[in-house]
Structure formats: C-alpha cells, structure tokens
Structure 1
Amino acid sequence: MTPLSTSRPRPTRRHGRNSYDGIEEWLTKLADLPPGSAEHSRMRTQIQHLCLPLADHIARRYSGRGQHYEDLYQVASLGLVAAIDRYDAARETPFLAFAVPTVLGEVRRHFRDHGWSVRVPRRTKEIQLALAPAIETLCHRLSRMPTAIEIAIELDVDLLEATQAMLAANAYTSDSLDTSAYDSDDEYAPSVANTLGTEDSGYRITEEALTLAPLLDELPPRERLVLHLRFFGDQTQAQIAERLGVSQMQVSRIISRTLAQLRARALPRED
C-alpha cells in the first residue's frame, strides 16, 4: 500500500474510490502510536478520509427512506470514526468486516430514534427496519409479493407483530398541513390546512335558533302563524292570505313588520 498523503483530500473526493486494500496495515501502525500524539492524530485523520467512501456508500443505500442524505452521511461518518477507534488490529479481522456492521448499526439507530413522526414501540421499530430486506428476499424466492404470514415466518416473529410493523410504516413520516403541491404546471393545489377546518354554517344556524326561539314564543298568535307558514311550511304569501282571509299585501306587511321587530330585539344595539 502506498503511503498516505499528508495533504487533506479535497471534498470532491468524498465519494471517490472505495478501495481499502491494506488499510489494516495502517490501523496496526495507528495502534502502535501513542494516543493523543501529533502523529497519531495525523494518521487517524488520514485513515478517516481514506474510508469516507464507505460512509457515503451506506448513506446512499439508506437515503430516500424519509431521511436526508446529508444527515445519514453525517451519522455514517460518526459510525466510521467509532469503527476506526474500536478496531483491534491484534485480532487480524478484516477492517470492513468490522466497520460495516458498526456503521450500519449507527444508521439504523438513527432511523429508530429520529425517523418516526409518532411514538412507536422499539420492538415494532426493529421489525419494521427488517421488513424491506425480508420482503425483497421473499419476492426473489417466490416470484411474487409475499403475504403477511410469509413475512412473519421469514422474520421469525408473530403474525400480529409483523402486521403491526407493516402498519407502523404509515407513522414513519408525516406531511405538514402547510405543505402545498402543484397538481400540474398550470394549476396550484392549496395546502391541506386551507382545505380543512372551514367554518360550519350549522353552528351559526344553531346560535340564531337559540336566540330567536324565546322571541318567537312572545309573538302574537297570528304573526307567529304567518312566519311558520312562510318559512317552515314553505307557503307563498298568496296561500297564507287565502288561509287567513286577508289580502296578500297584508301578509307581506305582517312578515316585514314582524321580521324587523325580531331583528331589532335579537341584534345588540350599537352606541
């Protein structure tokens, strides 16, 4: 393996080659250096930059599941640093065999602890994270979408637990009520908040009925009957006039006068 350069890699190299051949040699040298020394810090930083493509690969693998790539890359990078610090060169274990599970564990914990819009039991979260790999495996094996019981058998969990995990996926993310969307290039869709919580006209009708009820009871019998026939019986002024034996003009005057009296008594006076 060629010696590591002492210059800091450019940011564009973050997603470059992912060849880690001989990295164990440098980790062994790192373990022999006194912790906290300048040489230890320099070599540790170089190894971290060399291994950053691993964090990038894992972050991209898990992006698109409700978490931003940059957040996942940061978590994966922290997991990579932890793997470098915890790696025991004396065991002669390939670094990738140790680092990948460590980084994956950090990313999955991030999803479990920060990726849910509502509170979900930890057991359900853990099963939900295993759903996608299990479904993918079963699809290849069965050449069709698996059933819930097949998924439960594959994960070695109860059918109820598997079903709860599948339903819990709906609680993973939530949309803001203020979010707007475009139905097309020319038509703008209002936010959800603008389509919910509109004033129910029934409340106003109820308030007016409660206000007018005692006032109607105080009306003379003839005026009360005329209003009842006109607005509740849906009769015309001519029909009411014929029933009462009066002219249509008299009925019109009774209605106008009575409504004006009710309005004056129901509405508060202005100073």
Structure 2
Amino acid sequence: MPGRDQVGPLEDLDLAAFEYAVASAGADDVTQERLRTDFVGLALPFARRLSRRYRGRGESADDLEQVARLGLVKSVDRFDPERGSFTAYAIVTITGEIKRHFRNHSWGVHVPRRMQNLSLEVGAARVALTGELSRRPTAGEIAQRVGIEEAEVLEAQLSGAAYTPGSLNIAADGYDGVEIGDLIGAPDPGLGLVDDRVSVERLILRLPERERRLLGLRFYGNLSQVEIARELGLSQMHVSRLMSRALAWLRQAMLTDAPPAWTALDETDHRLVLATTGQGEVIRCRVTGEIDRDNAGYLRDELMAALPGGGRTARLELDLSAVPLLDAAGIGVLVTLREAARVRDIEVRVTGLQPYAARIAAASGLTDLLG
C-alpha cells in the first residue's frame, strides 16, 4: 500500500482501504499491525474533517478530534470490504462515536438518550422553521415538522435546558460579590427542632400504651378531647387529665438528663354510675364518677325519673361524695333538679360536694340544696 500522508477524494481512501484489506489478509501479526498503523495514519485527516463539523457545541476541538480518531480505529478494525465502501462505514461509525460522546459527557444533567436525541431534533427543526417563517415557531409547528406530539416538544425543550445548566457560582447581577447560589433558599427554622423531635419521640415510647395512643389521636389524628373520649371509652375530663399529666411528664423529661419515673395515675373508674334506693318517702341517690358535659344529660334524665310524683311529701337525698369532678354542666343539672323538685313540692338535699364544687353551687344560688 503506497505511503501517503493524506488522502484527498473519498474514492482514494476507499481504494486505500481495499488495498489494506487485501494486503493484511493472510499476513502475520507483525505485518498486520504495521499495515493497520499505516492505514490509520493515512485516514486521520478524514477523521479530523468529520470532527470539525461538531465544533462550537461546547466541546474543545482537541477532544472532538480524539473521539473521531477513536471512531476511525473502530472502523478500521471492523471494516469488511465485501460489505461496501469504507468511507460510508467510517462516517457512520465516527459520527456515532462523536454523538455518543456528546450524550455521555456534554450534558450538564443526565437526561435519557431518547430525550437527548429528541432535543437535538427539536432544536434543528426550530432553527429551520425560524428561517422559513421569519419568526419563532410555535410548539405545534415544531411538533408537525418533527412528527411528534406537542407535549413531547415541550418536554424536549425542557430537557434541552439541562445541556448547559447555569452555575450557582456565577456572580448575581446587582449584588457586589454575591453568587447566585447565595440568593437561593432561606433558613429553615425546623432544622433547629430536629433534636427535640427525636428526643420527644424516644420519650413517648416510654409512656404507657394508653397515653401513647391518646397523644397520637390528639396530635397526629387531630381529634378533639370529646372524640378521643369516645374512642377510648373515657370521659372528656378524664382524657383532659390524662393528657395534661402526660404532657407535664414529657416537659419535665425534656429538661432533665434522666427522665423521671412514670407513676401510674389513680385508675378509679370515672364512668358515671347512679344508684337509687327508696325507703319510705325518702329517695336516696348516690352518684359515682365524674360529671361533665358528656354525661350531664344522662344524669339529668336519671334524676328526673327518680323524683317521686307530686301529691305527697317526699325528699330526695343526692350523695355526691364519690364525684371527684363536677363541671358547669353538672351545676346545670342541680339547677334543673331544684326547679323540678319545687314544682312537685319535693325537698332536695345535696351532700358530699367537693369544696370547690360547693363554692360554685353556692355562687349559683343553690345554697338551699346543700345539706
């Protein structure tokens, strides 16, 4: 094969490739390597010319030429003269290698290969249509030219922005010595609460199951105390007491190195129970449990039913010594009871009220009921 520094027309390169294939057929390894080196050197200008087509796309000319040379070597190694022209095969191989280089190394953000190719097609169509229409083409016009959906055009344009993304280290306009990255984002006050959140979660695990469930229903389920009471089968006031005690323990545990011991709360049954006994003209009612707005209606109905009918002298004795809590709704029941007893000419005596409840009853004008 003649030693030439460069090849002009493609026909000459095809002839040289044919001569190389014939000469290397049946030659020993040393001779094949020498012939291969000579032919690659002969075709280097051809690879250089192909690499120049892709200049100005963000990659250096030297890098593109190196990639083109790699494609040339692959073309020489895989060339089969029986399948046609070497130059045609080399053009496809070299340009494919250059495009692969752009896909793998030139994109600032990784984008799927399909979107990379589609972005290039959309870009080429946009340039062509801009020249034809003398204006910027619409997404619909580009989609019609490329033969895709308009949504795919918009997606390709968005993906194209990932080719050369802007740097956060660029100086911000209008700010002296400030980079763009310094203007993005804001302080997150929640970061300072991370340690506290982790600590609270660990402390909650130390609570009994009922208290854990109660706190979960309140702060994660966003249920009211009335809804929690209905869920757990407790009174609203009992739920309030349990929650206050659990939160107080958590606050104390958060402020100490060693969490305090959890002591069980008085588990007296706080459900309302009404026991009525009659002896002669005296009706005795004993109430056990808390009286709050959840059960005040029930207590009122039961006491109205326990009142004896009119026409004879009678007395109702209401024992509230086993009532640890009496709220405003309970005071309302006593007011209703007094009025109903007055209509029926029945004497009512209330005993055993807690001191705070007795003061509220007196302030409500129920002094005549207190025994």
Could you tell me which of 99, 121, 126 is aligned with 2:112?
Answer: 121
* 1:73-88 alignment runs, 5 A limit: 73-88=65-80
User: Is 1:155 the equivalent of 2:155?
Assistant: no
Could you tell me which of 1, 13, 18 is aligned with 1:23?
Answer: 13
Query: Counterpart of 2:74 in structure 1: which amino acid?
Result: A
Identify the range of structure 1 (69-78 vs 127-136) with the bigger mean alpha-carbon deviation. Answer: 127-136
Could you tell me which of 49, 55, 60 is aligned with 1:68?
Answer: 60
Superposition TM-score, scaled by structure 1 size: 0.57
Could you tell me which of 158, 162, 178 is aligned with 1:171?
Answer: 162
Distance in 1 (alpha carbons) for counterparts of 2:130 and 2:55: 22
1:81 Cα shift? 1.4
Contact 1:75–1:107, Cα closer than 8 Å, also in 2: yes
Contact 1:124–1:161, Cα closer than 8 Å, also in 2: no
1:171 Cα shift? 0.9
* 1:188-203 alignment runs, 5 A limit: 191-193=179-181, 195-196=182-183
Which runs of 5 or more residues in structure 2 are unaligned? 190-371
1:45 Cα shift? 1.9
Distance in 1 (alpha carbons) for counterparts of 2:42 and 2:129: 36
Superposition TM-score, scaled by structure 2 size: 0.43
More helix by share: 1
Q: Determine what percentage of the aligned residue pairs are the same residue.
A: 37
* 1:1-271 alignment runs, 5 A limit: 3-5=2-4, 19-32=9-22, 33=24, 34=26, 37-91=29-83, 93-179=84-170, 191-193=179-181, 195-196=182-183
Secondary structure at 2:144 match in 1: helix
Distance in 1 (alpha carbons) for counterparts of 2:149 and 2:57: 25
* Change beyond 3 A, Cα 1:136–1:97: farther
Contact 1:30–1:44, Cα closer than 8 Å, also in 2: yes
CA root-mean-square deviation: 3.5
* Change beyond 3 A, Cα 1:25–1:59: closer
More strand by share: 2
1:46 Cα shift? 2.3
Give the structure, 1 or 2, with the largest relative contact order (CA under 8 Å, sep 6 or more): 1
* Change beyond 3 A, Cα 1:156–1:77: same
* Change beyond 3 A, Cα 1:76–1:39: same
Query: Counterpart of 1:167 in structure 2: which amino acid?
Result: L
1:180 Cα shift? 5.8
Deviations 1:151-180 (A, max 9, x none): 222222221111111111111123443456
1:127 Cα shift? 0.3
Distance in 2 (alpha carbons) for counterparts of 1:198 and 1:154: 41
Distance in 2 (alpha carbons) for counterparts of 1:96 and 1:139: 34
Deviations 1:191-237 (A, max 9, x none): 445x437997x98xxxxxxxxxxxxxxxxxxxxxxxxxxxxxxxxxx
Distance in 2 (alpha carbons) for counterparts of 1:24 and 1:40: 18
Contact 1:48–1:84, Cα closer than 8 Å, also in 2: yes
* Change beyond 3 A, Cα 1:26–1:138: same
